[in-house]
Amino acid sequence: MPREVDMNLNFNSYTEALHWIYSFSDTERTGQFVRDREDNLKRERKLLAELGDPHKAYGITHIAGTKGKGSTAVMIAAILQASGIRTGLYTQPDLHTFRERMRVDGELIRKDEIPRLAEQVARALAHVGNSLGPYITYEVATALAFLYFREAGARHAVIEVGLGGRLDATNVVEPMVTVITSISYDHMQVLGNTLSAIAREKAGIIKRGAPVITGARAPEALAVIEEICAERGAPIIRIGSETDADCAYRYHPLEADSQRSLFTVTTPSGEYQALELGLLGRHQLENATAAVAAADALRERGLPVTPPAIYTGLRSARWPARLQIVSQRPWVIVDSAHNADSFARLFEALHRHFTYRRLILVLGLMADKDIPGIVGEIKSAAVDEVISTSWRNSRAADGSMAAGLLMPERRTRTESSVAAAMSAAQQVAGPEDMICSAGSVAFAGEVLRWCAANLHGGTLSAPIEIAGVDH
């Protein structure tokens, strides 16, 4: 039976409002569909119309991709903020609290804002009903974010796609600029089993006339994006490395250490020389280049984005659980790699930015991921020991799944919790070693909370910022 929404809901606290938001179904990313996905956009447009179409009150940069879309979104938002443009940022999933999903000028939405906004969304839901199928948590949250940005007076909002693109709730927007980052295998149960099928879902966010910036490289994925750009009259701007002569924006690495990367970006009209980025990894240079291209495109479309703001924004951009340094001696690094491609990029970045004796990998995977593919990347890397854990999440894989595939090529043990796994890693690591945790965003959140509670003293690189824990 479709869920009936109480028109007279009043939320007396943040906790009450959050409980209501999470009470909706949210199973689509597992492939368990509770309604016709082809009605997704009609359903979201109906809800937003009842709210006065808040997403039309400001400019939009819309970002899809398998990897890097969150980091790219953060960089673009930081550049716009440095230009003095009041900027909303919508990302998901969160590490610790629902509030991380929506920010204005870098500040998380306040707790007291959410009950008030949730009441408005609840009243709108009661009016529109469920004739197009039941709403899910993500659609409710997306409407709330669009409403928040309008009420907060945002001039522009950077919106990250949740899943895929074509049928994602965010795809109701008419963006000034579209970004499609790298494309690799993920969420195949929803998006398809080939790169061309996945690319077609991602490219569903391309809108007529809006420039498309993409870092897609696989020929079958790029061909789909180029085809849809041609159909919709959307200029395509490709980004790549210094060896990609056919790309309009190319990055040239200069220096790298454990704190930053220096690089230059060549553009069709010149260069941004000696840019500094605190997010580590060569893949982040690719994301930063996409952010530079987006900033240039937004300037051409009327936003007052200044070249100095590009330098300032990239230098200030921070995104937790992306090669986040927690402590030294031994190094403790927390990352959110969760598919084979992102694990390959993680290992390349560790080698590029750090010096260490042994690498101890603390692994917490989701059951619906390509575990054999991830294991293959671990076997190909210089990993000395793996601690695979069964952790507190309904979608988590049993730690023995990865451990069984890794043995006997890699020294492997299993632990029953994040606390047990991190404690075991601390016991076996020497001061010249590295402990790196990876597997998913949710796992990274649990590891960071353990680190905040258990790691103290002079080896900590910086305080771990946790603005509350909802889960």
The structural domains of the chain, ordered by start, are 14-316 (3.40.1190.10), 324-454 (3.90.190.20)
Assess whether pLDDT exceeds 90 at residue 117.
yes
Q: Which class for 38: exposed (0-12), middle (13-18), buried (19 or more C-beta within 10 A)?
A: exposed
* Span 230-277, pLDDT tens digits: 999 999 999 999 999 999 999 999 999 999 999 999 999 999 999 999
SS3 category, 264? strand
pLDDT for res 1: 40
Ranges assigned E (strand) in 161-233? 177-180, 212-214
Q: Please tell me the distance from the alpha carbon of residue 320 to that of residue 280, in angstroms, as a whole number.
A: 11
Q: Give this prediction's pTM.
A: 0.94
DSSP 8-state assignment for residue 274 = E
Q: Helix, strand, coil proportions of the chain in percent (round to 5)?
A: 40, 20, 40
pLDDT for res 32: 56
* Span 32-50, pLDDT tens digits: 555 567 788 999 999 999 9
Assess whether pLDDT exceeds 90 at residue 461.
no
Q: Please tell me the distance from the alpha carbon of residue 268 to that of residue 200, in angstroms, as a whole number.
A: 27
pLDDT band at 2 (very low <50, low <70, confident <90, very high): very low
* Span 284-322, pLDDT tens digits: 999 999 999 999 999 999 999 999 999 999 999 999 999
Structural element, H or E, at residue 275: strand 270-277
What is the average pLDDT score of the chain?
A: 93
Q: Please tell me the distance from the alpha carbon of residue 132 to that of residue 118, in angstroms, as a whole number.
A: 21
Mean pLDDT of 54-74: 97
DSSP 8-state assignment for residue 25 = B
Peptide bond before residue 93 is cis, with ω within 30 degrees of 0: yes
Spatial contact of 60 and 298, defined as CB atoms under 8 Å apart:
no
Count other Cβ atoms within 10 Å, centred on residue 418. Answer: 24
Assess whether pLDDT exceeds 50 at residue 349.
yes
pLDDT for res 8: 61
How far are the Cα atoms of 248, 265, 275, 314, 315 from residue 262, in angstroms, in the given order? 20, 10, 6, 11, 10
Percent of the chain residues past pLDDT 90, beyond the cut: 81
Peptide bond before residue 408 is cis, with ω within 30 degrees of 0: yes
Assess whether pLDDT exceeds 80 at residue 455.
yes
